[in-house]
Structure 1
Amino acid sequence: MMGGAVRNWFLREIVDPGKLRLFCFFVAFILAFLFIRVSVRMIRAGVSWWPGNISPGGTHIHHVVFGLVFMCLGGIGGLAVTDSRSVTAALLAMLFGAGTALVLDEFALILRLQDVYWTEDGRLSVDAVFVAVALCGLALLGVSPFEVGQAFTADQSGRLLSRDEVVLVIGTNILFAALSLIKGKVWTGLLGIYLTPLALIGAIRLARPGSPWARWRYRSKPYKLARAQWRDRRIREPVQRVKRAVQDFLAGRPSA
């Protein structure tokens, strides 16, 4: 009975709305990230029975290389599949998701062009993975970016928004999200792409002390800079400590 209920839910919420490939991508992304983090932590710990790094001819091949190959195979293959509900489409989406996880797990390495995997800078890779999981999860829940879904969905009276209204809705969302990012609120800005009220909160609240907005706007307003610094110490730092603890638990603690 439980299996039938789960199957009916899966068909109703995932297959019928056309989200099968996105769901497969999401699952494969999470599983691949967890696997590769277990793998690198085993290698770091020097576990004898776990396969080590792949280094043919002394060249360490980072897993971002395999990720790029998987993304190319899954992405190009997925474009060639016309039936989005087929098993082939689901498998290719999973391959693309696994490849994306491997690439984002070394995002900091790609950005810095040096091996910072186990340094403090390497936390940026985990942040990138967390953001991708959050955005993909919101998409699975049916939340559309920049309020696009609302813009092209008829209201209760059957009326669609005009072109000018669509531009206003999407443009406002983009503006709020961009302001949040300029104010140094990365999570708020990125999630605000899907959740306009969150982007609005980030846009009207004080900027972070080291953000571009603070450098431009708070130089002549020391009281605002002081308030921003106080908020950063009082509110953001405790949240950051919790986030670091979660990162260390899932991905391993960076080297001192």
Structure 2
Amino acid sequence: MQSSLIKRIISHYRNEFRNPRQERLFISSLTFLAAFGGARAITYAIQHQIGPFHNLSVGGRHLHHLVFGIGGLLTVGYLWLVLVGTERRPTAASRATAALYGVGSALTLDEFALWLNLQDVYWAKQGRGSIDAVAVFRALLSIGVWGGPFWQALARDLLGKRPLN
């Protein structure tokens, strides 16, 4: 039963994401949402001293996670210029850079208030509400837009309904 379900999901994925660009958009949206949620959870744990998490400092200077996001975005930009984006079929490099783009974007945008205020207001009032809402909304909307046909086909199959075509 579980093996059959996994095969059906893989079949729908391959069928719905024949276009490498659409697949990259979908992958980057999923990783954006996961990385954004992960970054928020880890920074919450650091702030409230939960678990093994702690701030990262280099040479006595606090290193914000947007630094890793910017590094990821720069890496993806370079790789897309020289390796990815021109092939007709999806490749492992294409999928990996799409995932890294989503993660890099999330880590960078999660600290957007730092750019805007030029000070660490992550937990202050001006650093929270609208940024969280916009980022999560963007991620969910992207997943729906770029993955819509996949989710619809999977739902029809799992609910036992015939395809609309």
The Cα offsets for residues 102-121 of structure 1, whole Å up to 9 and x where unpaired, read as 01111111111111110111
Deviation at 1:141, TM superposition (A): 4.4
In 2, Cα distance between the equivalents of 1:142 and 1:79? 28
Q: How many residues align?
A: 141
In 2, Cα distance between the equivalents of 1:64 and 1:86? 28
In 2, Cα distance between the equivalents of 1:74 and 1:8? 28
Alignment of 1:125-140 (within 5 A): 125-140=131-146
Q: Which residue of 1 aligns with 2:95?
A: 90
- Sequence identity (%): 33
In 1, Cα distance between the equivalents of 2:144 and 2:53? 36
RCO comparison, higher one (Cα < 8 Å, 6+):
2
In 2, Cα distance between the equivalents of 1:128 and 1:108? 12
In 2, Cα distance between the equivalents of 1:85 and 1:141? 16
TM-score computed with the length of structure 2 as normaliser: 0.76
TM-score computed with the length of structure 1 as normaliser: 0.51
Alignment of 1:153-168 (within 5 A): none
Contact 1:78 1:93 in 2 (8 A): no
Alignment of 1:1-256 (within 5 A): 1-14=4-17, 16-18=18-20, 19-47=22-50, 49-80=51-82, 81=84, 82-83=86-87, 85-123=90-128, 124-141=130-147
> Which amino acid is the alignment partner of residue 104 of structure 1?
L
The Cα offsets for residues 140-188 of structure 1, whole Å up to 9 and x where unpaired, read as 0469xxxxxxxxxxxxxxxxxxxxxxxxxxxxxxxxxxxxxxxxxxxxx
Q: Whose radius of gyration is greater, 1 or 2?
A: 1
Deviation at 1:38, TM superposition (A): 1.5
Deviation at 1:132, TM superposition (A): 2.4
In 1, Cα distance between the equivalents of 2:133 and 2:118? 18
The Cα offsets for residues 36-90 of structure 1, whole Å up to 9 and x where unpaired, read as 112111111113x413111112211111111000011112212321325000110
Change (3 A) 1:142 1:5: closer
In 2, Cα distance between the equivalents of 1:127 and 1:74? 26
Structure 2: 5+ residue stretches without partners: 150-165
In 2, Cα distance between the equivalents of 1:3 and 1:10? 10
Contact 1:75 1:93 in 2 (8 A): no
In 2, Cα distance between the equivalents of 1:6 and 1:138? 17
> Which amino acid is the alignment partner of residue 91 of structure 1?
A
